[in-house]
Amino acid sequence: QKEVEQDPGPLSVPEGAIVSLNCTYSNSAFQYFMWYRQYSRKGPELLMYTYSSGNKEDGRFTAQVDKSSKYISLFIRDSQPSDSATYLCAVYNQGGKLIFGQGTELSVKP
């Protein structure tokens, strides 16, 4: 079983839609969860990180962790064409390595 699994997409939504991106993880000991955003032909960049359970909000973006179900989500409100990118969830495993999900390619159509 992979340590982090992510819906591969691709996902296409109209501008203004609410987007939900999801990952599951295997080890209940994981505590820090991250979302990276990767634009086409660029390297990933950290978008948000959360610790343990609960929500964290940053503008139109909300990261949510449900430790009981080992599920992490990223919500994007009022999505914009500039949000079109690949979104990768990531966790630090107990070996200190940053493990990425497969990435979900999101396209927001004007």
Partner 1 sequence: DTAVSQTPKYLVTQMGNDKSIKCEQNLGHDTMYWYKQDSKKFLKIMFSYNNKELIINETVPNRFSPKSPDKAHLNLHINSLELGDSAVYFCASSQDPGRVDEKLFFGSGTQLSVL
Cβ proximity to partner 1, 18 vs 46, nearer residue: 46
Of 42 and 77, which CB lies nearer to partner 1 in the complex structure?
42
Q: Which residues bind partner 1 (CB under 8 A)?
A: 8, 31-32, 34, 38, 41-46, 49, 51, 86, 88, 92, 96-100, 102-103, 105
Q: CA-CA-CA-CA torsion for 85, 103, 24, 35, nearest 10 degrees?
A: -50
CA distances from 4 to 15, 40, 85, 91, 106 (A): 29, 22, 19, 8, 19
Tokens of 12: 């296409």
CA 72 – CA 54 distance, rounded (Å): 10
| Minimum CB distance to partner 1, residue 29 (Å) | 11
Tell me the closest approach of the beta carbon of residue 68 to partner 1, in angstroms.
21
Pick the closer one to partner 1 by CB: 8 or 81: 8
Q: Which two tokens stand for residue 43?
A: 């390297």
Q: Measured from the CB of residue 40, what is the shortest distance to partner 1 in angstroms? A: 11
Shortest reach from residue 23's CB to partner 1, in Å: 13
Radius of gyration of the chain (CA): 13
